[in-house]
Structure 1
Amino acid sequence: MPESDTKGIFARQAVWMFLARSLRLLAVLFAGVWVSRYLGPEGFGRFSYALSFVALFSAIAHLGSDDILVREFIVRPEGVGTRTILGSSIILRGCSGLTMAIVALVSGAVVAGPHVMPLIIVFVLAGFAESLARVFEKYLEAHGLGRFLACGQAVAGFLSVSATCWAITQGAGIWFLAVTRGAESVALLILLAIVSLRALGGISFRVDTRFIGRVLRQSWPLAVTSVFVLLYMRIDQVMLRHYMGEASVGHYSAAVRLVEVCFFVPMVLANALFPAVLAVREDQGGLYRLRTQVLHDAMLWLGLAVAIGMTLLARPMIVLVFGKEYRAAAPVLRYYAWCAPLVFVGIVRGKWLVSEQLNRWQLLFGGSAAFVNVALNCLLIPRLGMQGAALATLSAQFTTVVVAPLAFSAVRPAALYAVRSASLIASGRRLLRFFLAHVADGRRASTEQGSSSCND
């Protein structure tokens, strides 16, 4: 496929996914805010604790293989077709999802308590459905079918939000609200499976045990890394419940939700645009490095916009969105918001490591961040409370994105991309030049197409 066509396909895919997910997340945020007001800080803390507890085990189901599947669907190794990749991935995710469910349920029965266990059961089942849905999601992303993926996500989100709003108006309990939340993953699995099977032309999967073995060999470092990432992103809420109770988890979760609702932006852009970066990796090394750097630049600027805005408006945002009951979350938001630039850049860094087949290094990055976060949580939560947990997470993010990669020459370019982006004047100029060049290429292509039509 011509390089200009590749850029066009993935650019349109980015627009589709961004618009649809924006609408979906606005609806989800509305429902989440309503749930938090309805349950109050203590009930919302219990709800959030169950979500965070299950999230600690979700990496077992996903196996860290999402980016590897996108690469396999695009490259299609010799002798391995799309149906084989899809069928083998479904079997692999089914087995890993079942393992996740067993481990999470046994762990929950031991440490969570009987009043939280029903919520954990619901979220475990939802996590199993989500792990299967993501196979179809990566298939659609890799084939430039993001518009169908985005529409499926929007529909599933709308159905879940509608059910949640109805449940609140009927005075439903916390367990039923968990069911309406988990129903989104089930609906998404059904919708994406239907769309993918129609694109393939029917149900005809193949399973290749050699392909499964290769994916496991390549993804196990990413799977362990995902465990570490979820550990340093979610362990704060689990530890807060231990030190300060469920109400503190509710306040803390309110601040985290406001920041994390913005995380869809880098995920959408990276998932939609990084295939265009991969497309020029082999043939145009200079362009590959430029696109990678520009993507880092864009992520840092977006993250800074989020961090600065939320720092300045923390208190009015919390009161406006969650109500006066959650005013204690404002100081947490001022600290936690500065995770955004690091998370945004880290998403692109992760995809670059996969493209360079440096997956095993993510194990070191994730492990160092998890160690820093757990250690600082133990030290800071008893002294600073919720703000201490936010500072611990921020320190862990800085460790995994900047400090750890700088220490090793093999992956130092990953940190240097981030460091160069931090030179704001240079990165701003680079972004502007790249954007203007892209616009000029589009106009030139339109002119050539018009001239060709006239000649015909």
Structure 2
Amino acid sequence: MFQILTKMAARFSPHQRKIISNTGWLLISRVLRTVVNLFITALIARYLQPDGYGQLQYALAFCSFFLPLSTAQMGDVVTRDLVKNPEDQSRILGTAFTVQLFGGMIAAISAIAMSLLIAPTNSLMHLLVAIISLKFIFISGQPIENWFDSKVDSKFKVFAGNIAFAIITAIEFSLVLNQAPLYTFAITVSLESLIYGLGLFFFYSWNHQNPLQWRTDFSRIRYLLIESMPLCFSTVSLVLYKNLDRVMLANLVDNQSVGIYSSAATLAESLCFLPTILCVSLYPTIIRAKHLEASVYNEKLQKIYDLVALTAYLLILGLAPIAGFVITLIYGQAYQAAIPIFSLYIWSSLFSFLGIVQSRWIVAEGLQKFNFYSRVTGLALNLALNLVLIPRYQAVGATIATIISYAIANYVFFLFIPRTRDNAHLMTKALFLPFRLPQFLKSFSA
């Protein structure tokens, strides 16, 4: 067996082995974290019950609306610049850190102010939002994460993430055992971001890098903001229509419906780490392949699209039939109403997985504005569908609206844009992967 594995490894180039190793670190970490997170989330959901869990999820969804102000979405631009100009990293990282730190402050203040404005008598809502919004400031160390991504070396950010996750998991477990109040679970959200950020700085220094050498180039701030602005607007619309359903459920139905819906949606969305890991490891390869012949470039992209589509189909076929068992096992009898929601929601993974890959391609091509237009289209459609479907079908209606808007925003929209149509055709082929499975397997064995 060892000889077979050695021969297989020898077939890959050093760069391919580095990608495989990098993906392996991310995959092992995220699989372990997903399993443990499902366990602790189940404990919290069971303890808080649908109403309390719904209040927490509503506060998280509300705060997420202000995430784009923190400029966290500029990460792909920073990674791209670090790959192209590694010798200029002190200026790139220093400027990105400054922008993100001040952006985080603006996001936190805006979230708190808006919660006071729209719900002046809801003191619990104010407290939850104030606590959770602190994480916008604590994620300002993200440029270090982008630096590790540009090196295709994720093990250190995995270490930092796992340390933070382990500490927070232990704290949350203790909170459940000691029947802690609701607001303490909001504290763990921001605390995890703080610990992770400190871990990134530690491992960055461990790699003989000095953050004190970073320099803020104020002329570059304008460049960063302009380059990331389309992604920022795209993220606004993406965040809105990923969380609009929870906010609308809370206002059109009740917090219990938010808790039921969130339990199913969170479980389905937790699986998005799979295409994200592939994209993090393969993004530098996509950038480099862009300079090759168009046929080679498209062939590499097609393999990535096919791979994430296959992953989505396997998850759908594996989980949808046993949704009742999965929901009852994880969340308990109080969440029985989430069973049909999860059975439907898991289908959205097909379009969200493809969308994750496509968003990286759009950045590599410098076509960020089309991402924004597609998200706005998806948001408008999601809002309209939610207004029609939620009053009639409640959480199930919100799920149907999500699937349709994901399909439009991540796929259908790009079929009508000349500059993205060829890439959308690659996605079409990926959607029909079950009919092309022999060809797909042959391409990977070649």
TM-score, length of structure 1 as denominator length: 0.92
Whole-angstrom distance in 1 between the partners of 2:117 and 2:395: 25
**Deviation of the 1:62 alpha carbon:** 2.9
Of 158, 169, 174, 1:150 maps to: 158
- Does residue 56 (structure 1) correspond to residue 65 (structure 2)? The answer is yes
What SS class does the counterpart of residue 422 from structure 2 fall into? helix
CA distance in 2, matches of 1:122, 1:128: 11
The correspondence for 1:371, drawn from 380, 393, 404, is: 380
Equivalents in 2 of 1:435, 1:64: separation in Å?
A: 32
Asked if the contact 1:10/1:275 (under 8 Å) is kept, the reply is: no
- The offset of 1:136, in angstroms, is 1.4
**Please, which moves more after superposition, 276-285 or 207-216?**
276-285
Instruction: Provide the C-alpha distance between the structure 2 equivalents of 1:11 and 1:275, rounded to a whole number of angstroms.
Output: 13
Query: What SS is found at the alignment partner of 2:290?
Result: coil
Deviation at 1:200, TM superposition (A): 4.5
| 2:325 paired residue number | 316
- Aligned partners of 1:232 and 1:373 also within 8 Å: yes
Aligned pair 1:392/2:409, yes or no?
Answer: no
Aligned to 1:101: 108
* Correspondence list, 1:97-246, <5 A: 97-112=104-119, 113-130=122-139, 132-202=140-210, 203-246=212-255
Percent of matched pairs sharing the same residue: 25
Q: Distance in 2 between matches of 1:182 and 1:156?
A: 11
2:416 paired residue number: 407
Deviations 1:244-268 (A, max 9, x none): 1111100001101110110111111
Runs of 4+ aligned structure 1 residues displaced above 3 Å come to none
Query: Which deviations, in whole Å up to 9, do the C-alpha atoms of 1:174-224 show, x marking residues without a partner?
Result: 111221232111110000111113324323111112322212111101100
Q: Deviation string for 1:44-72 (max 9, x for gaps)? A: 00011011111111122135212111101
Report how far residue 89 of structure 1 moved: 0.4
SS at match of 1:207: coil
Q: Which amino acid aligns with 1:96?
A: G
Change (3 A) 1:299 1:192: same
> Are 2:43 and 1:45 equivalent residues in the alignment?
no
Whole-angstrom CA distance in 2 between matches of 1:172 and 1:332 = 29
Contact 1:63 1:222 in 2 (8 A): no
Confirm or deny: 8 A CA contact 2:138 2:190 kept in the other structure.
no
Residues 286 and 364, structure 2, Cα contact 8 Å, conserved in 1: no
Q: Is residue 273 of structure 2 the alignment partner of residue 270 of structure 1?
A: no
TM-score (normalizing by structure 2): 0.94
The aligned length equals 432
**In structure 2, what is the equivalent of residue 296 of structure 1?**
305
Whole-Å Cα distance in 2 between the matches of residues 252 and 194 of structure 1?
38
Any unmatched runs of 5+ in structure 1? Answer: 438-456
Report how far residue 380 of structure 1 moved: 0.5
* Residue in structure 2 matched with residue 433 of structure 1 by the alignment: 442
Name the CA distance, whole Å, in 2 between partners of 1:200 and 1:86. Answer: 15
What does the per-residue CA deviation read over 1:71-101, in whole Å, with 9 as the maximum and x for residues that have no partner? 0110018xx7111111110001011111111
CA contact (8 A) 1:51 1:123 kept: yes
Q: 2:157 is aligned with what amino acid?
A: L
CA-CA distance at 1:306 after TM superposition: 1.8
| Aligned equivalent of 2:257 | 248
How much does 1:145 deviate? 1.8
- Conserved 8 A contact 1:60-1:97: yes
Equivalent residue for 2:290, pick from 244, 258, 281: 281
Name the CA distance, whole Å, in 2 between partners of 1:133 and 1:377.
36
Output the CA distance in 2 between the equivalents of 1:410 and 1:143.
30
Q: After superposition, give the CA deviation of every residue in 1:108-153 in whole Å (9 maximum; x if it has no partner).
A: 11224222111111110023212x1322111111112211111211
RMSD: 1.6
Please give the alpha-carbon distance, in whole angstroms, between the structure 1 residues aligned to 2:208 and 2:89. Answer: 9
Question: Which shifted more, 109-118 or 393-402?
Answer: 109-118
**For each residue in 1:336-388, what CA deviation from the matched residue of structure 2 results, as whole angstroms up to 9, or x when unmatched?**
11110100000000000111111111111000000000111011100111100
Q: In 2, distance between residues paired with 1:133 and 1:162?
A: 24
